[in-house]
Structure 1
Amino acid sequence: MSTSSFTSSLLVHDKAGRYVPATAEQILSEARRVIDLKIRRGAAFTSPGVVREYLGAKLAGYEHEVFAALFLDNRHRLLEYVELFRGTIDSASVYPREVVKEALKLNAAAVIFAHNHPSGHPEPSEADKTLTRRLKQALELVDVRTLDHVIVAGRTTISMAEGGLV
């Protein structure tokens, strides 16, 4: 959905204090803030539904690819959500070394990866599958478990773990 074709019945204050229709980006930004308030540091990610709701709210609506990770403790409680890499409309460069550094910095025991497909096509590409294997192998060397890799495409989310790909 492009922001230019979006009409909103939600109103926000402009700089002069007048009420004006909110843009799609303002609405999505506020949704991301609300999901952060709802699921705070220490919240347990014990069900696929909670993971999908959280990641769907965080990654839907971007017009470029974003690669993120949920870094978790040994009881799958949230340590930190980090948007690690930003890309173009159809790809993002991901560096396993940087992912491992972040996991060690946060003392994570487990991780759930996520990225969005702005195209709206949710199926994992061969590049997604290869990247997931590389990240999993790199993290295994430092005893961090890879639990899942979720792809967000609009309102649809795909779990690579549920598909047997993690």
Structure 2
Amino acid sequence: MTDIIRDLPQDERPRERLLQHGPETLSDAELLAILLGSGVRGKNAIQLARELLYQGMPALRQRDLHQLATIPGIGPAKAARIAAAIEFSRRIANSQTKGPPDYDRTALGRDLVTRCARFRQERFGAALLDARYRILRDREIFVGTVNQTLVSTRDILRFALMEEAHALVIYHNHPSGDPTPSKDDQSFTVRLRDSLRLADMHLVDHLVIGAHGYYSMMEGGMI
């Protein structure tokens, strides 16, 4: 018979243990159980959390809100709490206290691979840089279909001008998982590069994001 958490001894309940000993003393499953709040018939919150973590933390992080909500025993409310915690932890990890971070292709590329892993549609974004190549702002601009996104060079130029950017790095994901740039990707990049030059701005790179890595069009000699 499954034990209900409130029927467990107090020193075995995740919330009470956290309050008494601190969050660092809890297992991954116990921390997740606190987020879940409750279990379902036949499973308490800790058992449900262990099932969610069966494939590891990276697999859980890559699930989007819809995928989480369709897991038996989770539903929209629990899925929302998990998704909010994942996003909040990502923002904390990316936060800087010493001003805008310097642009680093490898760091940005790896971060984008993680961020885009759960997306099933093409998404296009840009990181705007100042004259010292520090990241002023990183924002998703367009959301497309499963195999394309309709991007306007005019809208990107307007966005960059509004933020008074000196240069920018654009990026988009390939839901297929293959980061190889398409011919459309290449022609669009050239058009945008030329448009930015007219506004005295520099296109630093176009990163194409795949399932396990990214492709730099600058490193590939396409810009």
TM-score by length of 1: 0.83
SS at match of 1:61: coil
Question: What is the CA distance between 1:121 and its match in structure 2?
Answer: 1.4
Q: Answer yes or no: is the 8 Å Cα contact 1:32–1:57 preserved in 2.
A: no
Aligned length: 155
Q: 1:38-61 CA deviation, whole Å, 9 max, x = no partner? A: 33460101x321121222223222
Question: What is the CA distance between 1:78 and its match in structure 2?
Answer: 1.0
Question: What is the CA distance between 1:30 and its match in structure 2?
Answer: 5.3
1:11–1:39 distance in 2 versus 1, CA, 3 Å:
closer
Q: 1:159 aligns with which of 208, 213, 216?
A: 216
SS at match of 1:51: helix
Q: 2:32 aligns with which of 11, 17, 30?
A: 11
Q: 1:59-112 CA deviation, whole Å, 9 max, x = no partner? A: 222100000100111111111111111000000000011001100111100100
Q: Answer yes or no: is the 8 Å Cα contact 2:110–2:213 preserved in 1.
A: no
Which structure shows the bigger proportion of residues in helix conformation?
A: 2
The residue that corresponds to 1:37 in the other structure is: 92
Question: What is the CA distance between 1:25 and its match in structure 2?
Answer: 1.6
Structure with bigger gyration radius: 2
**Separation (CA, whole Å) in 1 of partners of 2:131 and 2:124:** 22
TM-score by length of 2: 0.63
The residue that corresponds to 2:170 in the other structure is: 113
**Percent of aligned positions with the same letter in both sequences?**
30
- Whichever residue aligns with residue 113 of structure 1, its letter is I
- Map 1:143-158 → 2, pairs under 5 A: 143-158=200-215
**Separation (CA, whole Å) in 2 of partners of 1:49 and 1:59:** 15
The residue that corresponds to 1:3 in the other structure is: none
Q: Answer yes or no: is the 8 Å Cα contact 1:44–1:76 preserved in 2.
A: yes
**Separation (CA, whole Å) in 2 of partners of 1:105 and 1:124:** 28
**Separation (CA, whole Å) in 2 of partners of 1:31 and 1:133:** 36
Question: What is the CA distance between 1:146 and its match in structure 2?
Answer: 0.3
Q: What is the Cα-based RMSD across aligned positions, in Å?
A: 2.2
Q: Answer yes or no: is the 8 Å Cα contact 1:111–1:145 preserved in 2.
A: yes
Q: Answer yes or no: is the 8 Å Cα contact 2:174–2:209 preserved in 1.
A: yes
Q: Answer yes or no: is the 8 Å Cα contact 1:31–1:57 preserved in 2.
A: no
Deviating 4+ runs (over 6 angstroms): none
What are structure 1's unaligned runs of at least 5 residues? 1-8
Q: Answer yes or no: is the 8 Å Cα contact 2:126–2:140 preserved in 1.
A: yes
What are structure 2's unaligned runs of at least 5 residues? 1-28, 39-44, 53-59, 66-81
**Separation (CA, whole Å) in 1 of partners of 2:138 and 2:108:** 12
1:36–1:78 distance in 2 versus 1, CA, 3 Å:
farther
SS at match of 2:114: helix
- Whichever residue aligns with residue 101 of structure 2, its letter is A
